[in-house]
A and B are shown apart, each in its own frame.
Chain A
């Protein structure tokens, strides 16, 4: 499974960005990060803030010297094994979307495709919340 984000369709409402936090964190986690990233796109007389997310391309997996990043079998999502991550940040250097984050301990944190929700038969939070279909799930 991959996730697709259509920058043109995006209306800059931050719903996917927030849904991602809500899907992975309890309300008490005040400083929780979204695994999506806000970018401002600017033209001459127009600008909007879009929220880019991981497309599960796997480039970070190829770059990781520790083998901490892997493709899980059930959905084909690119996930990280937190224990193996040494925080070298090699993954961030190749991420084409710039959506690799690091937690308070310096460990890599990325989109997990909402795998827990998928197992419950639900859609990824960002896909489910988007009102204009800018974030979509694409099956391999």
Chain B
């Protein structure tokens, strides 16, 4: 009997990439535990991560390169060799480049995220401006809102020195479970927590002040807090006078949002708005913890987050100890992530509709409307899609996108699992999980970590970046004008390249399984604005955005963080759709679509689950556990109603991405924030009715059909 070995590696089932100890026996992963040698983690793990064996050895893993044999979308594939697959990709991509131009190929990074810089390099070398990612509907709108105010990357909270922490729509106990201990440590030190969340989540339940707002009214709440802070003279006059652009107009605008009025809009009691404003402004230093998507999954999302972010500068909590800092801890330079510029020599997809996305560049094109671009051949024909981990259920009305993908001349998806999104592909390539490859992590706090390969790749699966490099090499061989300085040197050299600016070598990092601090650390600094202007057009913090104002006439954008209420949408008959629909709020056991295939996680709760307040249940004749039909102006799904009192009456919550009933089908494809292109996933309208038995039969039939396929 061979011994069990413990390998220091990483879980990459969701975003934070927690470090784990993998237990490996006879070459097989048998168990994982959260590592205890890392400063940011509690040592535990979440439900998703601890189920790793069912992830790695899932029966839907793709084992070999597969080529389409049936018609597009039919789902018939046959095994081919990697050699054949690579030759086909290089040949087809170059053919399409020759026939339609490089821009007609889209390079898309879905899940996972780690290979993004390498894929961007490939798109650049090929000459396409259309490098896109899953961030077209996640996070980047929050980053855009921040950049429009401060001109830099989002500044994180300085939890160590803060006295007050304002969590704005982050249920971190469920979205980043291993961070729980750091959060509880802050509370134990006596830190005050203000939590803004439409639901009384476990995190909200633990807060000192919970502002339970109606989804999507974040902007009105933040503007009202500003009104109190200014009226009560709690704002930082010196900072505002010296470093803020547009304060006078902002001050005038916020007068419309007295707490009395804001209570009517947001549902938050006026006294609580005042109390929160006084605590945030008065019990400083105060940090604001942002979240990736809840605020920006609304059609006024960017402006709402601009209003929230403005509170930091208003109260003088920008780049000070205990506030939101350009560098909340030690930091060491590293290559690749965030360092590669997208080729922008010609118009990218999304550029006409969402120009600010490009002016405040995140080095990605905006592909929320990808299906329209493919189907309508506008702004120009899109003919090829080289995708990694593309999941059509990240988009609103996903079926529409799935159909559009069938129209492409050439579509490759590199995936872990035989996903629905791959059915329209011409070629599916098997990627491996983080347990099956080595990786250099440039982590928070200047710390680097070498994630070891714990097991051999399952089947013939390969490391994403090695796949990208091989595609590059094959194309370059056929066309030497395709050139990148890093992709040709192999994966070992790539890891060295990431580390280089830190002063560490790959060898020494490998010999320190607990991780290492970079040798070259940026000196810790606060108040960088005293030495360097803000990277905005005015050189100041822009309460009134000059970038947004550029598009006042053409796109109707406004410079101030204005509040427009989505409920004033006259196109929707609220008699027909009386409930607010909020989709995709985090569940601790799920992550978008990909974990439904893990029975240990999928069996925990009913899916799809329609969470409804008992009062609404009684009003609409829906009982706890009933099979229901949810109808929005854009679509219809069925699911199981479950009573939940965490949210207020009037709002229905559904997690997305399930093939048995995808909440994203209920969101109209054009129901987007005009600034960011982000869908209004968390603020739309619906009705819920008890469904008849015939619908249940129909659903079962559909399921059986799917099983037969």
Contact = CB atoms under 8 A, between A and B. Distances in A.
Contact of A131 (B53, B178, B600): B178
A125 B180 CA distance: 18
A95 B589 CA distance: 28
B198 interface: no
Given A11-B173, A32-B600, A45-B200, A19 B645 contact: no
Most chain B C-beta atoms within 10 Å of own C-beta, residue among A22, A27, A132: A27
Interface string B138-179: 000000000000000000000000000000000001100110
Contacts of B33: 122, 128-129
Contacts, number: 103
What class of interface size applies to chain B in its complex with A? 35 or more
Interface string A89-104: 0000000000000000
A118 interface: no
Interface stretch (B40-48, B104-112, B663-671): B40-48
A11 B202 contact: yes
Nearest to B41: A131
A30 B589 CA distance: 16
Interface in A1-52: 11-15, 17-19, 21-23, 26-28, 30-32, 38, 42, 44-48
Contacts of A130: 44
Contact of A13 (B31, B46, B181, B599): B46
A31 B600 CA distance: 7
Contacts of A28: 57, 59
A13 B645 contact: no
* A contacts with B: majority SS: loop
B54 interface: yes
B249 to A, nearest CB: 39
A46 B177 contact: no
B94 to A, nearest CB: 41
Given A17-B47, A22-B600, A27 B177 contact: no
Interface in B32-87: 33-34, 42-47, 50-54, 56-59
A17 B604 contact: yes
A14 B595 CA distance: 14
B601 interface: yes
Contacts of A45: 200, 645-646
B645 A14 contact: no
Nearest to B179: A131
B588 interface: yes
B700 interface: no
A14 B588 contact: yes
A106 B377 CA distance: 61
A32 B603 CA distance: 10
Nearest to B174: A13
A44 B54 CA distance: 37
Contacts of A21: 51, 600
A54 to B, nearest CB: 19
A85 B351 CA distance: 69
B644 interface: yes
Contacts of B174: 11-13
Nearest to B29: A27
A106 to B, nearest CB: 20
Contacts of B54: 22, 27
A12 B50 contact: no
B601 A31 contact: no
Most chain B C-beta atoms within 10 Å of own C-beta, residue among A14, A30, A31, A32: A14
A27 B50 contact: no
Given A11-B202, A27-B58, A22 B51 contact: yes
Given A15-B177, A131-B177, A30 B599 contact: yes
B184 interface: yes
Contact of B599 (A31, A47, A122): A31
A120 to B, nearest CB: 8
A129 B46 CA distance: 7
B519 interface: no
B95 interface: no
A122 B200 CA distance: 36
Interface string B596-608: 0001110110000
Contact of A11 (B56, B177, B646): B177
Contacts of B644: 47
Most chain A C-beta atoms within 10 Å of own C-beta, residue among B44, B53, B177, B588: B44
Nearest to A9: B184
B205 interface: yes
Contacts of B59: 28
Contacts of B588: 12-15
Interface in B420-461: none
A15 B44 contact: yes
Contacts of B599: 30-32
A15 B46 contact: yes
Interface string B223-246: 000000000000000000000000
Nearest to A127: B44
B173 A26 contact: no
A47 B204 CA distance: 11
B31 A23 contact: yes
Nearest to A33: B603
A18 B44 contact: no
Given A22-B600, A32-B600, A131-B42, A47 B645 contact: yes
A129 B600 contact: no
Contacts of B178: 131
Nearest to A131: B44
B177 A12 contact: no
Interface in A107-132: 120, 122, 125, 128-132
Interface of B: 4, 31, 33-34, 42-47, 50-54, 56-59, 173-174, 177-178, 180-181, 184, 200, 202, 205, 588-589, 599-601, 603-604, 644-646
| Nearest 5 interchain pairs by C-beta | A131-B44, A30-B599, A18-B47, A11-B173, A27-B54
9 contacts: A14-B589, A15-B47, A18-B47, A19-B47, A21-B600, A122-B33, A128-B34, A131-B42, A131-B46
Interface of A: 11-15, 17-19, 21-23, 26-28, 30-32, 38, 42, 44-48, 120, 122, 125, 128-132
